Amino acid sequence: MIQELRDNYGKFFEEKLLEEINSVGTFKEVSAGIELIKPGSYIKSMPLIINGAIKILREDQDGDELLLYFLERGDTCAMTLSCCLGHQKSEIKAIAETDAKLVMIPIEKMEEWTAKYKSWRNFVFDSYHHRLIEAFETIDSIAFMNMDDRLLKYLKDKIKINKNNIINNTHQQIAYDLHTSRVVISRLLKKLENEGNVKLHRNSIEVIHI
Amino acid sequence: MIQELRDNYGKFFEEKLLEEINSVGTFKEVSAGIELIKPGSYIKSMPLIINGAIKILREDQDGDELLLYFLERGDTCAMTLSCCLGHQKSEIKAIAETDAKLVMIPIEKMEEWTAKYKSWRNFVFDSYHHRLIEAFETIDSIAFMNMDDRLLKYLKDKIKINKNNIINNTHQQIAYDLHTSRVVISRLLKKLENEGNVKLHRNSIEVIHI
DNA sequence: GATCTTCTGTAACAATTGTTACTGCAAACC
DNA sequence: GGTTTGCAGTAACAATTGTTACAGAAGATC
């Protein structure tokens, strides 16, 4: 595990902290689709992402959901951070977007390292910063963009995250992420296909051109 | 100023930190309507809010804007925090919602205090936590609520922030905050008036019942 | 191969929100 | 008092998004 940590977090943390993480962290592999965090649950450890991607969703009381953003290598979950520190319930839902490798860190260490390691402090602050920025970008999308542009952005993000221009999702799954209906997504995808931007298959979408 | 700090931040910070804030901070009074932060500008100091309220807005490239949330006594601007630490440009716009008193802290102190004072660290983490939660609540509103409910929420928030059930805004100003058109707001307000929930006057709205 | 399930395509329609245009009113200004 | 300016009310219409319903295609299962 120490080698994975060095490869992925060596540029953030000094060797001594890497060793501490190695000694108290537990390695975890998850398969795509696994639910990591349920809204309303308490969180006992914080994940450092080694590889793969995690999808972070917001869910309202009716079970309606909306994609907030993806976490990747080098990211951590800011919500987890603040929940741990504030001993609060989770406000979000996290699902493995791809198969992923994580290192789970017990929350007691967080406060300790925050005082001890400058690099850890900076990492935590940076994480908050990035999540806040991404939350604002999500707000931009839903406030200022129409569904056709939001769908384009979604396809772009998916390609980037999965490193694959074939998106293995049904229209219904996309509709959930964008909080709209399946019919709307089918309609817009068909339009994109007619314009030559995508090719539609059953259970997957091949993106030809942005 | 030290007394103002003790009254408003005494429960967060130890006396020694209060004194440090007092010695390096500068007191600032602003009138309602003053623009404190422009999107794209660099930030050189961070505000602690003593009283009054600050309105935080998101703005897109076309100049369209959207209200994110209000800051009050005991709050600080998380965006400022992360901009200072990351030496980044502001992603938001801040306008004094009411007359307000602030203490401005030079950013160099922030890193220093983060290492030195546990209470400061907790304050900063808490601020991030609250802003993230509020950003998520803003996402909830625009993603899951219709304009009529968003308007109700807006009126409620305004009453709370201004401690006054008369809201001194034109319909156009509300439309800007909610990123919609004046006609839509007039329409919905008129509906609320017909239902007996508000009374409409020129340049102001009297809220009768939630 | 026959059946069942799930996914996609599409039409028709409803609801919500956005736009344009015009009106009268109130306050401000001269 | 008369004029100008900005605000609010309203109608008519357009655009976008959401809903319902149904048909056919692709896989999965037996």
Residue A108 C-alpha, separation from nearest chain B C-alpha, in angstroms: 14
With vertex at residue A124, the alpha carbon angle to CA A118 and CA A128, rounded to the nearest 5 degrees, is 145
Which nucleotide is closest to the Cα of B181 by its C1'? C18
- The residue type found at B111 is E
Residue B129 pLDDT more than 90?
no
Q: Does B116 touch chain A (CB under 8 A)?
A: no
* Chain D footprint positions (protein CB, under 7 Å): 6-12, 16-21, 26-27
Q: Which of B86, B118, B140 sits opposite A129 (nearest CB)?
A: B86
The pTM for the full model equals 0.93
pLDDT of B126 > 90? The answer is: no
Provide the pLDDT for residue B78. Answer: 81
The C-alpha of A198 sits at a distance from chain B's nearest C-alpha, in angstroms, of 27
Distance in Å from the first CA to the final CA of chain B? 37
Domains of chain B: 2-143 (2.60.120.10), 146-207 (1.10.10.10)
Give the pLDDT confidence of B148-181 residue by residue, as tens digits. Answer: 999 999 999 999 999 999 999 999 999 999 999 9
Supply the DSSP symbol for B180. Answer: S
For B182, residues 6+ apart whose C-beta sits below 8 A from its C-beta are B171, B172, B175
- Could you tell me the pLDDT band of residue B85, with boundaries at 50, 70 and 90? low
Q: pLDDT averaged over chain B?
A: 91
Distances (CA, A) of B124 to A82, B55, B115, B120, B134: 11, 19, 12, 6, 15
- Mean pLDDT of successive 10-residue stretches along chain A, which has 210 residues: 90 93 95 89 87 94 93 86 69 93 90 89 88 94 97 96 94 97 97 94 92
Partners of residue B140 in chain A, C-beta under 8 Å: 58, 60
Q: Cβ of A58 and B140 within 8 Å?
A: yes
Q: Which of A132, A121, A113, A131 is nearest to B111 (CA)?
A: A121
Q: Is A112 on the interface with B (CB under 8 A)?
A: no
pLDDT of A101 = 95
Which residues, in sequence order, are bridge partners of residue A26?
A104
Minimal CA separation from B96 to chain A, in Å:
20
pLDDT band at B42 (very low <50, low <70, confident <90, very high): confident
